């Protein structure tokens, strides 16, 4: 018997009134973990807005927030893999210049390594705060917007951390590929970039600096690689771990994508799905705007899906109410 696969993204939760955008997460951090937010945004060359400055233009705060949203938070997972490395290296130079490297001090590398662990170790809290934020959301009053999803026996792949499918639609078997709150899965939330090459490059630079006895450079290069590793999403590992789910898609002849953008970070999943479902499966894209429709259509075509098997439908017309 043929079945459908529903791929659920953040747009699904937002269509149900949940404030789950990355900007909403920033608002949560601003209200609850200001020091973390300050340290995080500083690594991406964003200083806090100074409202007390008498020379600040009236619309300066809005312009500042617009730039923050556009250049960092709108595509957080992709942007998180590109911290201001020049700033990190320059800061390292300042620290190293204050150290007595000429006196043959023992353990100078250990001292620097510990300093960078303290300086950039705050990022370890990222996933913890995401879980904390999602757990604070209330899904108890949400009503279903698509009756055909209720008690559905099809396959559900969710990229969300919430319990919307389970609690609102009564769907018991949902695979949360990136983890979520405790009530839906045991896996902690996973978020990150896919910039694996940069990690490898900085490990290589650190090794070269070590061989040249340049402890300052070696230490900061390793620190940059450490930070990138802590914010890296290992999609290959996740796909391997999810093998039992992929193996169950052989009977799928229809794929419905709701609120998922299939960004660069998540393209490996799309390729895996395309290789697992039936060859002539029909794909339905529920899109929020034309840009989202075009980007997802191109992504499907890139994965070898024939355009004749792709149908698009504006999200507002997809819902029952």
Q: Is 172 helix (H, G, I), strand (E, B) or coil?
A: coil
Q: pTM surpassing 0.95?
A: no
Paired sense of beta strands 252-258 and 3-8, if any: parallel
Domain spanning 3-18+137-191+236-318, CATH class: alpha beta
- Which of 61-75, 84-98, 258-272 shows the lowest mean pLDDT across its residues? 84-98
- 41 by Cβ neighbours in 10 Å (0-12 / 13-18 / 19+) ranks as middle
CA–CA separation, 273 and 17 (whole Å)? 28
- Which of 262-266, 270-274, 295-299 shows the lowest mean pLDDT across its residues? 262-266
Mean pLDDT in the chain? 91
- pLDDT on residue 61: 82
pLDDT, tens digit (0-9, with 9 covering 90-100), for 102-135: 545 556 888 899 999 999 999 999 999 999 999 9
Mean pLDDT of 8-31: 96
Count the helices and strands in the chain (H runs, E runs).
16, 6
pLDDT, tens digit (0-9, with 9 covering 90-100), for 52-88: 665 566 678 888 899 999 999 999 999 999 999 999 9
Which H or E run includes 8?
strand 3-8
For the chain, give the percent of residues with pLDDT over 70: 94
Q: Where are the domains of the chain?
A: 3-18+137-191+236-318, 22-129+195-232
User: Cα 164 vs. chain centroid, distance in angstroms?
Assistant: 19
Angle 85-97/108-120 helices, nearest 10 degrees? 140
């Amino acid at each position: 018997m043929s079945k459908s696969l529903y791929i659920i993204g953040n747009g699904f939760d937002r269509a149900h009134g949940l404030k789950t955008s990355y900007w909403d997460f920033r608002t949560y951090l601003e209200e609850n973990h200001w020091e973390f937010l300050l340290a995080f945004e500083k690594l991406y060359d964003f200083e806090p807005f100074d409202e007390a400055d008498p020379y600040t233009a009236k619309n300066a705060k809005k312009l500042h927030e617009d730039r923050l949203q556009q250049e960092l938070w709108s595509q957080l997972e992709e942007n998180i893999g590109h911290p201001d490395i020049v700033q990190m290296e320059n800061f390292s130079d300042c620290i190293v210049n204050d150290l007595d490297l000429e006196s043959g001090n023992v353990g100078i590398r250990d001292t620097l390594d510990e300093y960078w662990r303290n300086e950039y170790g705050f990022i370890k809290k990222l996933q913890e705060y995401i879980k904390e934020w999602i757990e604070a959301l209330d899904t108890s009053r949400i009503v279903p917007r698509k009756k055909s999803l209720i008690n559905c026996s099809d396959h559900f792949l969710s990229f969300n951390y919430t319990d919307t499918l389970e609690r609102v639609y009564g769907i018991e078997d949902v695979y949360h590929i990136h983890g979520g709150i405790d009530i839906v899965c045991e896996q902690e939330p996973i978020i990150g970039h896919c910039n694996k090459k940069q990690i490898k490059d900085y490990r290589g630079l650190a090794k070269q600096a070590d061989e040249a006895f340049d402890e300052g450079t070696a230490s900061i290069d390793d620190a940059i690689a450490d930070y990138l590793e802590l914010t890296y999403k290992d999609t290959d590992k996740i796909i391997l771990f999810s093998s039992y789910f992929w193996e169950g898609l052989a009977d799928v002849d229809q794929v419905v994508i709701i609120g998922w953008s299939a960004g660069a970070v998540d393209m490996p999943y799309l390729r895996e799905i395309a290789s697992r479902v039936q060859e002539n499966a029909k794909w339905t894209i529920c899109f929020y705007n034309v840009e989202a429709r075009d980007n997802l259509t191109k992504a499907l075509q890139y994965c070898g899906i024939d355009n004749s098997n792709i149908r698009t439908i504006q999200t507002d017309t997809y819902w029952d109410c």
